[in-house]
Structures are given as C-alpha cells and as structure tokens.
C-alpha cells in the first residue's frame, strides 16, 4: 500500500474545513469525542472552529486499542476485539436527546469507531445519544470496510496516510524525505537507527 505523508498545516486546514462542513450541514453536536491519537488533534480543531461559529460543545478525548500500522494490520487479520477506554465521563453525562460527534483522523474499516459506539450503547443504555455522527478528514474506502462511510469527510484515499505526529513504521529514508527536521534529533538519541 502506497504511503502518503500529510503535513501539519494540511491537517490543520483540513480539520477546519471539516468543521465548516459539519456547521453547514446543520448538525449541532452537544458532545465532541476525539479518538486518541489523531482524532484528538482533529477534534481540538473541529471543536475550536465550531465554538468560534457559535456551537458550544462538551468535548473529551478517549482511546481505543490502536497501536500503529503494524498492529492495525495484525488486528484486521486476527479479528481481534477493539477495546474503548476513557468513556466514563460520557456514561455519566450523556443524555438521549444529546447529539454526539465522534472524530478521528482517518476512517478506514470503521472498527475503532464502531467499538466506541457499541461500548457507549452497552453502558449508557437509555441515555445513549440518539443522534451519533462520525467525522474524519480522511476516509480510506476499501474492501475491508465493514461499516458505513463517516457522515463527514473531505477526502477519500486508498493510500496509507502518515500523519504529522507519526514516526513508528517509517524508515529512515522516509523520515529524511518527509520529516527531515526529526532526523538529527533521532541521530542524537538513537545512533545507527535505520
């Protein structure tokens, strides 16, 4: 699978564009949940833009059992269960008439977000938000998509998208080509790395 490196400025601009798309749709979330790691970054930008546009939200970050590219493919092959962590605040505060927006950086199979929604349904029961929507700037549609497309996305790609904060899973040559500023720092701390 071809890799495509997303720059920090591109991610920031795409996150704000995603927020504008959400605003234009008429959806007004009461809660925004950013899925750690990348979704928390995007979630911050989306929340800030919506707030600037007059939409007040409660917002938190949660995490799933995602641990990088290699682990992602292993989970797909083995069909491992995805766990969702950090949902207690939502269990205690979510109400059925709330609108919930779940934000991630890349939406691929939908398994991570589906795990979050299912865990919320199990624990929140009658307080589960009736209007749950999903947003991610990047949507990787492929044969392994097991859930519907996100409600909001900007770009569809079949590439493996490497986000600005990702180092793991990239070779020295890739980092030199796309994140050259980090190479001297890594050389200092990890001599001889490749």
Domains of the chain: 3-163 (3.40.50.2020), 168-194 (no CATH)
Residues in the chain: 194
CA-to-CA distance for 128 and 174, rounded, in angstroms?
Answer: 43
> Which residue has better confidence, 110 or 10?
10
Q: In the prediction, which pLDDT does 80 show?
A: 60
Identify the three-state secondary structure at position 14. helix
Give the rounded percent of residues in the chain with a pLDDT score beyond 70: 90
Identify the three-state secondary structure at position 39. helix
* Block residue for tokens 């990348």: 38
Written as six digits, the tokens of 165 are 């904060």
Q: Is the pLDDT of residue 171 over 80?
A: yes
> Which range among 11-25, 74-88, 121-135 shows the weakest confidence by mean pLDDT?
74-88
32-80 per-position pLDDT tens digit = 999 998 999 999 999 999 999 999 999 999 998 755 555 555 555 555 6
CA distance from start to end of the chain: 20
- Please give the model's pTM, rounded to 2 decimal places: 0.89
Q: What integer best gives the mean pLDDT of the chain?
A: 91
Q: Is the pLDDT of residue 180 over 70?
A: yes
* Alpha helices, DSSP H, located in 61-182: 69-78, 88-93, 111-124, 172-178
Are 90 and 124 in contact by the 8 Å Cβ rule? The answer is: yes
Residue 63 Cα distances to 11, 44, 66, 104, angstroms: 20, 15, 8, 10
In terms of average pLDDT, the best of 57-66, 78-87, 148-157 is 148-157
Q: In the prediction, which pLDDT does 73 show?
A: 53
Are 130 and 96 in contact by the 8 Å Cβ rule? The answer is: yes
Written as six digits, the tokens of 157 are 């790609």
Q: Is the pLDDT of residue 143 over 60?
A: no
Q: In the prediction, which pLDDT does 177 show?
A: 96
Q: In the prediction, which pLDDT does 44 show?
A: 98
Written as six digits, the tokens of 84 are 């969702």
Q: Is the pLDDT of residue 10 over 60?
A: yes
* Block residue for tokens 């797909």: 76
* Block residue for tokens 């707030």: 51
């Amino acid at each position: 699978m071809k890799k495509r490196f997303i720059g920090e400025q591109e991610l920031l601009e795409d996150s704000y564009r995603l927020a504008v798309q959400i605003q234009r749709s008429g959806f007004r979330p009461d809660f925004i949940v950013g899925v750690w790691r990348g979704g928390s970054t995007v979630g911050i930008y989306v929340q800030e833009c919506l707030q600037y546009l007059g939409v007040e939200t409660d917002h938190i970050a949660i995490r799933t059992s995602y641990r990088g590219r290699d682990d992602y493919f292993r989970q797909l092959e083995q069909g491992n269960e995805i766990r969702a962590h950090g949902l207690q605040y939502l269990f205690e505060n979510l109400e059925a008439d709330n609108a919930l927006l779940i934000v991630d950086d890349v939406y691929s199979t939908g398994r991570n977000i589906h795990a979050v929604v299912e865990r919320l349904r199990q624990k929140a029961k009658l307080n589960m938000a009736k209007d749950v929507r999903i947003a991610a700037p990047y949507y990787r549609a492929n044969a392994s998509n097991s859930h519907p497309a996100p409600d909001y996305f900007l770009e569809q790609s079949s590439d493996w998208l490497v986000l600005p904060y990702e180092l793991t899973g990239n070779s020295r040559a890739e980092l030199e080509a796309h994140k050259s500023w980090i190479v001297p720092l890594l050389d200092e701390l990890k001599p001889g790395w490749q």
